[in-house]
Every structure is written in structure tokens, then in C-alpha cells.
């Protein structure tokens, strides 16, 4: 009788089964079984299936939008409702024109001097034509500049408008005014006008009102100083 020389299982241990291929659940890249058929099982239990919906639009529908109201021309630079602009004096026009003469008269004299000394007529005509063009344009702009200036005082702020080619509206709150200054150069003194300047904490918001009569400038300075002091104390 031949003896069995093959390997024997250890005592007390069951024989080892042959290696089997790994199941889908053992694979790391296999999807979870709970996810497979989740929608079907939820439908069987009466649960609503999850459906991805697109986000709602951010803009309101047309029926909820306010109606478009066209803004009339010049309304952006109009005075506050119920009030009007306080104009500056006509002397501001002559103040601008006086400055204009200071520039154009030397050009005209230079043109005459060149003609007398050198006889260079084309060069003299160039200087004379430049002086004449500057005089005509500046003479017209001086009046338009005067018409563009105006101010309006309210309970909490002052509105200042100006500008011919570029319109500008400045609103200065009384609580931000730190200094009210009145200045008048030689030409302004000769015409009896002055400029009121408002200084605030921000240099970019400084404002001024030129072409005021001396009495009007003094009264405006006092009103602005009193309102600025009252606003700073919270009254």
C-alpha cells in the first residue's frame, strides 16, 4: 500500500478553497450598490426622484420692472426741485474780458513791432491773426462762462453749477465745510467783485463761486460759516 506524500491541511483548519475572482463590491473603482437603481427603489417606495433644475434668472420679469422714464435734456444739471439758481453778477464777464485783453494786446503790439523792425509781414500777420482769433473766441466765451455759473442753498447742502464746454454740478454738505474763504485779486477789486471758496477735507471736492458782489460775498460767507458750525455740532 503506497503512502500519500502530498501536502496535508493543518490540524483543526478547513482545507483552503481555490482563489476566486474578486467581486464587484471588493473593487475600489466599483460604484456603490446603493447608488445603482436608487431612483427605481425610491419610485417603488413612493419617494419623488431628484431632478436637477436650472437656477432661476437673476433679472426680474418684465412685468415687475419699473417703467422707463426718459430724462429731459438738462435735468441732470437742474437745480433742486422747487428752487432756482442764483446767478452771479455781470461783472464776471468783464473780469474775463479784462484778462483776455492782457493776453491779446501784447500779441498785437508784438506784431506791430516785428513789422516796424524787420519788415517780416507774414510773421506779423500770423501774430496779429492769432491775437484777433483769441480775442473773438474769448469775448464770446466770457459771456457764456458767466451764464453757466450759479448756486443754490438748501437746508443741508449747497449746489454749485458751472461749465460751458463741460458742464459740472457740485454738491457740498455743510457738515464737510472746514473753511470759507473770500478772495479778490487786483482786477476783481477794481470791478467790486470777489470769489467765495469752500474748503473741505477732500481736496477734490473744493468749490468756489466767482463774480459775487462784495456785499453778497460777505453775506454768503457768514451764512455758510454759521451752517457749517451748526452741522459740525449736530444741530
**Cα(23)–Cα(176) distance, rounded to whole angstroms?**
79
**Cα(72)–Cα(170) distance, rounded to whole angstroms?**
20
In a domain, 203, yes or no: yes
Domain identity same for 161 and 111: no
Position 130 confidence tier, pLDDT thresholds 50, 70, 90? confident
Q: What is the pLDDT of residues 38-57, one digit of tens each?
A: 555 555 565 555 555 656 55
Provide the 10 A C-beta neighbour count for residue 164: 14
Whole-prediction pTM value? 0.65
If you search the block for the grid coordinates 455743510, which residue do you land on? 174
Domain identity same for 216 and 154: yes
More confident of the two residues 15 and 132? 132
**Cα(57)–Cα(114) distance, rounded to whole angstroms?**
75
User: Residue 137: which of 97, 95, 102, 107 has the closest Cα?
Assistant: 97
Average pLDDT over residues 219-223: 95
Domain identity same for 139 and 101: yes
In the prediction, which pLDDT does 35 show?
Answer: 46
Give me the percent of the chain exceeding a pLDDT of 90.
41
Domain identity same for 170 and 213: yes
Position 94 confidence tier, pLDDT thresholds 50, 70, 90? very high
Last residue of a domain, one of 96, 121, 148: 148
* H or E element, residue 180: strand 177-183
Give the total number of structural domains in the chain: 2
Average pLDDT over residues 221-233: 92
In a domain, 175, yes or no: yes
**164: containing domain:** 150-232
Amino acid at each position: 500500500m503506497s503512502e500519500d506524500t502530498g501536502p496535508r491541511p493543518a490540524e483543526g483548519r478547513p482545507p483552503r478553497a481555490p482563489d476566486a475572482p474578486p467581486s464587484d463590491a471588493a473593487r475600489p473603482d466599483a460604484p456603490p450598490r446603493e447608488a445603482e437603481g436608487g431612483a427605481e427603489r425610491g419610485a417603488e417606495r413612493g419617494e419623488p426622484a431628484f431632478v436637477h433644475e436650472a437656477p432661476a434668472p437673476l433679472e426680474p420679469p418684465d412685468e415687475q420692472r419699473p417703467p422707463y422714464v426718459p430724462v429731459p435734456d438738462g435735468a441732470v444739471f437742474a437745480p433742486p426741485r422747487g428752487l432756482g439758481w442764483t446767478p452771479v453778477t455781470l461783472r464776471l464777464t468783464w473780469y474775463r474780458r479784462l484778462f483776455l485783453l492782457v493776453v491779446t494786446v501784447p500779441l498785437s503790439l508784438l506784431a506791430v513791432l516785428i513789422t516796424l523792425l524787420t519788415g517780416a509781414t507774414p510773421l506779423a500777420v500770423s501774430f496779429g491773426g492769432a491775437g484777433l482769433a483769441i480775442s473773438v473766441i474769448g469775448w464770446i466765451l466770457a459771456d457764456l462762462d458767466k451764464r453757466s455759473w450759479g448756486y443754490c442753498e438748501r437746508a443741508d447742502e449747497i449746489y454749485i453749477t458751472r461749465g460751458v464746454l463741460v458742464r459740472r454740478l457740485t454738491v457740498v454738505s455743510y457738515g464737510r465745510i472746514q473753511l470759507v474763504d473770500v478772495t479778490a485779486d487786483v482786477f476783481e477789486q477794481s470791478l467790486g467783485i470777489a470769489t467765495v471758496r469752500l474748503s473741505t477735507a477732500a481736496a477734490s471736492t473744493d468749490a468756489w463761486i466767482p463774480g459775487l458782489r462784495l456785499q453778497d460775498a460777505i453775506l454768503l460767507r457768514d451764512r455758510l460759516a454759521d451752517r457749517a458750525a451748526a452741522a459740525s455740532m449736530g444741530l
